[in-house]
Amino acid sequence: MWPPEEEQLKKIALNAYTETNSDTTVLVYWKNNPNLMIMDPCFFADTEYVKKTYQINDSLIRVIVGQED
């Protein structure tokens, strides 16, 4: 269901942190494949986005969730 809930955004942030253990940006397209995380994206689809930044330990994790690719 769009938009994702706060708990879903936090889970994405934690998963991204687990993979990188450092500052990063993670992009997920919600309707296409919400399990596919694109780390440090360069290109973005023309769609609606939800953006949130989380502090996990000493790292900043920027979560960007697009509605669809």
Q: pLDDT digit string (tens) for 9-64?
A: 999 999 999 999 999 999 999 998 889 999 999 999 999 999 999 999 999 999 99
Q: Are strands 24-29 and 59-66 parallel, antiparallel or unpaired?
A: parallel
pLDDT of residue 33: 87
Cα–Cα distance for residue pair 55/57, rounded to 1 Å: 6
Cα–Cα distance for residue pair 33/40, rounded to 1 Å: 17
23 phi and psi angles, rounded to 5 deg: -60, 135
pLDDT of residue 69: 85
The pTM of the full predicted model, rounded to 2 decimals, is 0.94
Cα–Cα distance for residue pair 58/1, rounded to 1 Å: 31
Cα–Cα distance for residue pair 24/20, rounded to 1 Å: 7
